């Protein structure tokens, strides 16, 4: 196929366009239209002959229109001649488009724009916290309603979610905590051995796992595994107006969708924490035996001396609160999803990041609290 052209014609102040003016020739066409052939300013009328144009599509028609408009800006009167009948409709249509100048975005001062971003982010912190508190309140209210009218609690849904976030999470939770217990023991033995204190590895593993690591690791894993799923589920329900549908049927989405999920999480997390802690102790004991040469009998005997039920209590008491925070964050973020796929991804990420952050903050607050009451 030959190249499109736009060149000075035989008679003065005339142009001749020819060849295919289509998107396939976009590169050369755009160059042609940009290099506006200069017209003698004495002549007012510019005649553009397009009878030689073989093919014309929207792109070609628009570039032709652009050439005409630019001549008009130079106070010339361009006219098209030799328009083949089949292009007439398209050219007329294109003649009417892009008439309004694009709205120019006002140039912003970089400093004020930066300050504005900081201000908005700070204000967003308050609204975020507001959403979290509102969700906690809504969960509390619907829990209260369920206590008054136990039949209104969605038992089937709760059990189903318990199965998903509890039972199905057991293998991965046990595996990860087992490995972490083993790693802590190995590191302990390696470093304590330098000053002959490798027997104290048992104290370290026992206290660390039961008080802190067990519940923390399990909470973080549940936030990543189940919290993200909650946000994504509720978010896609929000996107497809399922939540609005529930509302219009006079049903409270919190008591139908959120409460069963949160209750399931609150039941599952202590169980998972217990299983995880046991797996971590098992992993620690195994490493102490294989790597540190400490027989299981001695490990268990030392463990009995080192840890008390208090340590176990401290760990397990925290679990339901962690679950509540994860559930409330996940569900409130899910409800904040807007129409787009991008917003779903954004809220799911926010949900996981926020719940992990809050879990760690909460753990710190508990540490202060337990220290002050002497546990």
Partner 1 sequence: MQEPSQTLAISVRDLSVGFGKKKVLDGLSLDVRRGEILGLVGASGGGKSVLLRTIIGLIPPREGRIAIMGAETDYGDSLAMQDIGRHWGILFQQGALFSSLTVQQNVQFPMRENLEISQTLLDELATAKLEMVGLSPDDGNKFPSELSGGMTKRAALARALALDPEIVFLDEPTSGLDPISASDFDALISTLQQTLGLTVFMVTHDLDSLNTVCDRVAALSDGKIVEVGPIEQLVSSQHPWVRSYFHNARARTRAPASH
- Per CB under 8 A, contacts with partner 1 among 22-61 are 22-23, 26-27, 30, 57-59
Task: Supply the minimum distance, in Å, between the C-beta of residue 55 and partner 1.
Answer: 10
62 versus 132: smaller Cβ distance to partner 1: 62
Q: How far is the CB of 163 from partner 1 (least distance, A)?
A: 31
Q: Smallest distance from the beta carbon of 333 to partner 1, in angstroms?
A: 18
**Least Å from the CB of residue 17 to partner 1:** 17
Q: Is 349 in the site for partner 1 (CB under 8 A)?
A: no
- 342 part of the interface to partner 1, by CB under 8 A: yes
Q: Which is closer to partner 1, CB of 25 or CB of 219?
A: 25
Q: Which of 89, 53, 50 is nearest to 68 (CA)?
A: 50
368 is a contact residue toward partner 1 (CB under 8 A): no
Q: Which is nearer to partner 1, 143 or 239 (CB)?
A: 239
| Residue 375 touching partner 1 (CB under 8 A) | no
Residue with tokens 């009948």: 85
d(CA 304, CA 66) in angstroms, rounded, equals 87
- The Cα 268–Cα 319 span in angstroms is 9
Site for partner 1 in 322-341 (CB under 8 A): 338-341
Residues in Cβ contact with 302 at an 8 Å cutoff, skipping those fewer than 6 apart: 199, 202, 203
* 3-state secondary structure at position 261: helix
CB of 102 vs partner 1, minimal distance in Å = 7
Ramachandran angles phi, psi of 19, nearest 5°: 85, -175
The reply on whether position 100 binds partner 1 by CB under 8 A is yes
Give the Cα separation of 206 and 202 in Å (integer): 6
CB of 291 to partner 1, least distance (A): 50
Give the C-alpha separation, 40 to 17, whole Å.
18
Q: Which of 72, 98, 308, 310 binds partner 1 (CB under 8 A)?
A: 98
CA gap 164, 184 in Å, rounded = 29
Stretch that binds partner 1, among 44-52, 85-93, 149-157, 218-226 (CB under 8 A): 85-93
Residue 22 or 177: the one with the smaller Cβ distance to partner 1 is: 22
CB of 78 to partner 1, least distance (A): 18
Closest contact distance (angstroms) between CB of 237 and partner 1 is 15
- Over the window 279 to 318, marking each residue x when it contacts partner 1 by CB under 8 A and - when it does not, the resulting string is ----------------------------------------
Q: What secondary structure does DSSP assign to 191-260, as a single string?
A: HHGGGT-GGGHHHHHHHIIIIIIHHHHHHHHHIIIIIHHHHHHHHHHHHTTHHHHHHHTT--HIIIIIHH
DSSP alpha helix (H) spans, the chain: 26-34, 58-73, 85-95, 110-148, 155-165, 170-192, 201-207, 214-222, 228-239, 242-248, 253, 259-290, 296-306, 309-335, 341-372
CA distance 304 to 357: 33
Q: Which residues bind partner 1 (CB under 8 A)?
A: 22-23, 26-27, 30, 57-59, 62-63, 66, 86, 89-90, 92-94, 96-98, 100, 102-103, 338-342
């Amino acid at each position: 196929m030959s190249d499109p052209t736009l060149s000075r014609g035989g008679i003065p102040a005339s142009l001749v366009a020819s060849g295919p003016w289509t998107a396939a020739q976009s590169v050369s066409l755009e160059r042609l239209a940009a290099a506006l052939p200069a017209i003698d300013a004495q002549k007012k009328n510019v005649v553009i002959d397009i009878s030689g144009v073989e093919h014309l599509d929207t792109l070609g028609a628009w570039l032709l229109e652009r050439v005409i408009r630019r001549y008009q800006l130079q106070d010339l009167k361009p006219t098209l001649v030799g328009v083949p009948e089949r292009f007439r409709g398209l050219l007329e249509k294109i003649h009417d488009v892009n008439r309004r100048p694009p709205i120019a975005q006002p140039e912003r001062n970089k400093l004020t724009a930066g300050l504005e971003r900081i201000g908005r982010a700070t204000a967003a912190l308050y609204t975020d916290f507001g959403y979290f508190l509102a969700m906690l309140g809504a969960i509390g209210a619907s829990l209260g309603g369920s206590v008054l009218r136990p039949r209104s609690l969605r038992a089937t849904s709760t059990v189903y979610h318990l199965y998903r976030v509890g039972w199905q999470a057991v293998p991965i939770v046990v595996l990860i905590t087992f490995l972490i217990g083993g790693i802590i023991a190995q590191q302990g033995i390696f470093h304590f051995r330098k000053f002959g204190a490798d027997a104290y590895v048992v104290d370290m593993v026992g206290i660390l796992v039961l008080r802190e690591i067990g519940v923390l690791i399990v909470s973080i894993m549940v936030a990543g595994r189940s919290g993200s799923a909650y946000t994504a589920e509720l978010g896609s329900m929000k996107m497809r107006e399922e939540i609005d549908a529930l509302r219009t049927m006079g049903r409270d989405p919190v008591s139908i969708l959120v409460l069963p999920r949160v209750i399931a999480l609150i039941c599952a997390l202590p169980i998972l924490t217990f299983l995880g802690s046991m797996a971590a102790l098992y992993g620690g004991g195994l490493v102490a035996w294989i790597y540190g040469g400490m027989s299981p009998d001695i490990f268990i005997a030392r463990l009995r001396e080192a840890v008390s039920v208090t340590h176990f209590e401290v760990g397990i008491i925290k679990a339901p609160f962690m679950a509540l925070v994860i559930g409330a964050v996940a569900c409130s973020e899910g409800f904040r999803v807007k129409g787009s796929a991008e917003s779903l991804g954004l809220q799911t990420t926010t949900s996981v990041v926020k719940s992990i952050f809050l879990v760690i903050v909460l753990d710190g607050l508990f540490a202060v609290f337990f220290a002050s009451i002497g546990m």
